[in-house]
Amino acid sequence: MGIFDIFDDPPPKQVKAKTLENLSCININEWNDGYTNTGDQVIDFIKNKIETVSYEKFISFLKKRDEYLRITDEVLNNEKVNPMNNLQLKGQINGFFPYPRHFLNLNSEDFDMVSYRVADSAIRYVPEEIGGKGMEKGNFKCLEILTIHDQMNKYPCKNPSRGAGIQFVDLDDDEFELLKPLDNKLRKYKDPKLYDHWYAMWSAIYKEIFKTKKRKQFPINRYQSYTCFGE
């Protein structure tokens, strides 16, 4: 420390965000095989578009795409130990996904914002080689696992971007019966014990469903991957 350093202003304290920034998202399934890590992937189509138009026009361009997704966030409660937020998706997927606000400020590749819900689905996919019928149309139940990653700065734009993804787990009858009561509780957004319901859902998915022989062989039925830009 220099002799005059004691007179310098102290570094400002980092203010913890209470909500995620609004995100406009582009579906990148056409550039992603579902197995390759997209963390460092720079998609030329996106990069070239950003470099040729203003950022505002780029966001407008995203909103006009067929598989556009918008993600917004709101505070649900301010519980002292485990405050909860609620992500709302509009566009290709529509619905609400509550999650612990704690994960919003970790800024770590090891901790993502993750939430879950059970939704109706008009399709399901189970490969024939594991006893399924391939792609089917009908009335099915599906577990949707939403993941939003930490900020990244791999595109030449004024706002940071994020990766996001939705994994679709087409549920059989036993899986649905296990998750149905937990999903019902997780939809009670004003419940002060909402974190407990979120954790119970997490536990049932990763400690029970994904531990079965079936899910060890074929854990995820379908997926959607996105690159998301702050508005």
For residue range 86-138, list pLDDT tens digits in order: 999 999 999 999 999 999 987 666 679 999 999 999 999 988 887 889 999 99
Q: How far apart are CA 181 and CA 79, in angstroms?
A: 23
At 174, the amino acid letter reads: D
Whether the pLDDT of residue 5 is over 90: the answer is no
- Look at residue 221 and tell me if it is in a domain: yes
Domain count, the chain: 1
Domain enclosing residue 194, as ranges:
20-30+41-230
Whether 103 contacts 114, CB under 8 Å:
yes
Model pTM score: 0.88
Q: Is residue 131 part of a domain?
A: yes
Angle CA(131)–CA(137)–CA(141) in degrees, nearest 5?
A: 75
**How many whole angstroms separate alpha carbon 182 and alpha carbon 117?**
9
In a domain, 10, yes or no: no
In a domain, 3, yes or no: no
For residue 158, what pLDDT band results from cuts at 50, 70 and 90?
confident
- Quote the CA–CA distance of 74 and 136 in Å, as a whole number: 36
Collapsing DSSP to helix, strand or coil, 187 comes out as coil
pLDDT of residue 73: 98
User: Is residue 193 assigned to a domain?
Assistant: yes
User: pLDDT band for position 33 (50/70/90)?
Assistant: low
Tell me: pLDDT of 3 over 50: no
In a domain, 2, yes or no: no
Order across the sheet with 84-91: list the strands: 95-100, 84-91, 69-75, 23-27, 222-230, 161-170, 134-152, 113-126
- Mean residue pLDDT of the chain comes to 90
- DSSP-derived secondary structure letter, 25: E
Residue 184 CB coordination number (10 Å): 11
